[in-house]
Structure 1
Amino acid sequence: MRFTDKVCLVTGGTSGIGRACCVRLGAEGGTVVVLGCDKADGAETVRLITKAGGKAIFMACDLSKPRAISGVVKKVLAKYHRIDVLVCDAAMMTFDHLVDLPLTQWDLLMLVNLRSLAQLTQLCLPHMPAGSAIVAISSVHAHQTTANVVPYATSKGALEAFVRGMSLELDRKQTRINAVAPGAVDTPMLWSNPNVKNGTEKIDKATVGTPEELAAAIAFMASSEASFVHGTTLVVDGGRLAQL
């Protein structure tokens, strides 16, 4: 099992891709720290992991609040003394024309989607042992997007730039950093997207993936099997970008 005796911290672990990732890491022996805002959803993720024989705890954390991030990392380190895998999955979207978007919403989205990645990387790195890994969840919107989601697309493009830049600051034998860019995935975020509902963003059901398929890709990137993969983005989209 690839994550035996490894402490795996996952943001956005209460639903969708994040939950599937937590379940996958737990099934492969990891001790999973599930981060999210909703305690009930977090408890359900923990239940799924422990029911299958894995180890997991939930810690509530609002990623828009830097103090909350600092506090939760301190709790994780006090309990486990290290972090072997960091998966930054949590994200939010807005669906307004930029000219109509309150800049407070722009700032909130960037706090959740981008600043939290930087802060978690900064806080966790000193406590990540040799062979550790960071996986940031991007999106095909970093490469090809639609109207009305400019802040989200911007944050994901910046996330991939962050990954490339940080890879130059890290020794891959100590800590690797990579991104995974999902396409359309069967999650609440996809089906609640107004652009999807009104047809602005066309979704071919043949290229809608499952959270479990993304979790498999994330687990690979976080595992020692990907020891020579560093500073890049793995697109997992069912061939969506290739069709453009």
Structure 2
Amino acid sequence: MRFTDKVCLVTGGTSGIGRATCVRLGAEGATVVALGRDPADGAETVDIITKNGGKAIFLACDLADSQAIADTVHEVITKYHRVDVLVCDAAMMTFEPLADLPLEKWDTLMLVNLRSLAQLTQLCLPHMPKGSAIVAISSVHAHQTTAGVVPYATSKGAMEAFVRGMSRELDFRKTRINAVAPGAVDTPMLWNNPNVKNGNETIDKATVGKPEELAAAIAFMASHEASFIHGTTLTVDGGRLAQL
């Protein structure tokens, strides 16, 4: 199995794509560290993995809190002494036009979606061995977006720039960094989007992906099979961008 004896740290591991990624990595032999805010949801993720014979723990962590991130990584390193795979999936959205958006919401979103990626990269890199990988979960909103989600789209565009820039600072034979950009995926974030509910953003259900399909792509990008892929974004959207 591709992740036997690997320690895989996944943010947003309590639902949607993050949970599916945790389950996929656990099924492939990883020791999964699932991060999230809700202990009940985290326990459910761990239960799914362990019932299938995998290994997992949940750690509560608010990615808007830099001290919480530092404490969590310290706990992981103390327990496991390394991080082989870092998957940054957790994200938040806002749904107001920028002219009406309190900048405090902008700041919180950037903390969760973008600054946490930078901080986790900084903290984990010294403990990432040869063959390790970072996978940042972007979005097709980095390339084609709608009104009312400017902060989210901005954070995802910046995330892909971060990946490109960090690829110049990392030796890909030691640690690779890439992004995966999902399209519409059957997750709570999609169906709770007010733009989807009110019809401003039209979703063709035939092109809505499954979290497990994204997890497969993320696992590939994190695996040794992708050893020559570095500093790029893999779009996994059922052809959504190609239709524009």
Q: TM-score range by the shorter chain?
A: over 0.9
**What amino acid maps onto 1:39 in structure 2?**
P
1:139 corresponds to which residue?
A: 139
State the match for 1:57 in structure 2.
57
Letter in 2 for 1:203: I
Which amino acid counterpart does residue 235 of structure 2 have in structure 1? V
* Partner Cα separation in structure 2 for residue 49 and residue 163 of structure 1: 29
Corresponding position of 1:47: 47
Q: For 2:145, what is the secondary structure of its paired residue?
A: coil
Quote the offset at 1:166 in angstroms: 0.1
Q: Which runs of 5+ in 2 are unaligned?
A: none
Letter in 1 for 2:217: A
Shift of 1:32: 0.1
Letter in 2 for 1:228: F
Following the alignment from structure 2 to structure 1, what is the Cα–Cα distance between the partners of residues 243 and 129?
A: 40
C-alpha separation in 2, matches of 1:196 and 1:184? 11
**Map of 2:94 onto structure 1:** 94
Match of 1:14 in 2: 14
Residues in 1 aligned to 2:238 and 2:132: alpha-carbon distance in whole angstroms: 28
1:69-84 alignment, distance < 5 Å: 69-84=69-84
Q: Distance in 2 between matches of 1:23 and 1:126?
A: 26
CA distance in 2, matches of 1:109, 1:189: 14
For 1:144, the aligned partner's letter is: Q
The two structures have a TM-score, normalised by structure 2, of: 1.00
2:228 matches 1:228: yes
Tell me the distance in 1 between the aligned counterparts of 2:55 and 2:42: 13
* Unaligned runs of at least 5 residues, structure 1: none
- Deviations, residues 158-188 of structure 1 (Å, cap 9, x unaligned): 0000000000000000000000000000000
* TM-score when normalising by structure 1: 1.00
Q: CA deviation digits over 1:42-65, x for unaligned, max 9?
A: 000000000000000000000000
Post-superposition shift, 1:6?
Answer: 0.2
Task: State the SS of the aligned residue for 1:33.
Answer: strand
1:76-121, Cα deviation, whole Å (9 max, x unpaired): 0000000000000000000001010000000000000000000000
| 1:192 aligned onto 2:184 | no
- 1:83 partner amino acid: V
Task: Figure out how many residues of one structure are paired with residues of the other and give that number.
Answer: 244
Alpha-carbon distance between aligned partners in 1 of 2:65 and 2:201, rounded to the nearest angstrom: 31
In the alignment, what sits opposite 1:116?
116
Aligned-pair RMSD on alpha carbons?
A: 0.2
**CA distance in 2 between partners of 1:130 and 1:68 (Å):** 27
1:201-216 → structure 2 map (5 Å cutoff): 201-216=201-216
Residue 189 of structure 1 deviates from its aligned partner by: 0.2
Give identity over the alignment, percent.
83
One-letter amino acid of the counterpart of residue 12, structure 2: G
List structure 1 segments (4+ residues) > 3 angstroms apart after TM superposition: none
Q: Give the aligned residue type for 2:85.
A: V
